[in-house]
């Protein structure tokens, strides 16, 4: 088994929206992408970096990645 594969948390039931509470705030996490990934093929997603190869080569930071999914009205 590949060592990088161990870093990803395995889940049985996938929920598209998750809520977590910390102090007086509720944080909402929404599924925006999914990537095929197994022990032999990464299909463009690096499990160690938790980024796509495109994001790695563009040196994108978490904030830049997050802003791709924000829709302004």
Give the burial class of 45: count Cβ atoms within 10 A of its Cβ; 0-12 exposed, 13-18 middle, 19 or more buried.
Answer: buried
pLDDT at 73: 55
Mean pLDDT score, 4-15: 68
Query: pLDDT for 23-55, tens place per residue?
Result: 999 998 888 887 787 777 777 888 788 888 888
Better-scored residue on pLDDT, 20 or 4: 20
pLDDT at 22: 94
Round the average pLDDT of the chain to a whole number and report it: 79
pTM: 0.55
């Amino acid at each position: 088994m590949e060592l990088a594969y161990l870093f990803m948390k395995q889940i049985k039931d996938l929920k598209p929206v998750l809520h977590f509470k910390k102090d007086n705030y509720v944080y909402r996490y929404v599924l925006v992408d999914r990537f095929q990934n197994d022990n032999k093929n990464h299909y463009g997603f690096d499990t160690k970096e938790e980024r796509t190869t495109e994001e790695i080569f563009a040196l994108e930071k978490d904030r830049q990645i997050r802003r791709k999914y924000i829709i302004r009205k």
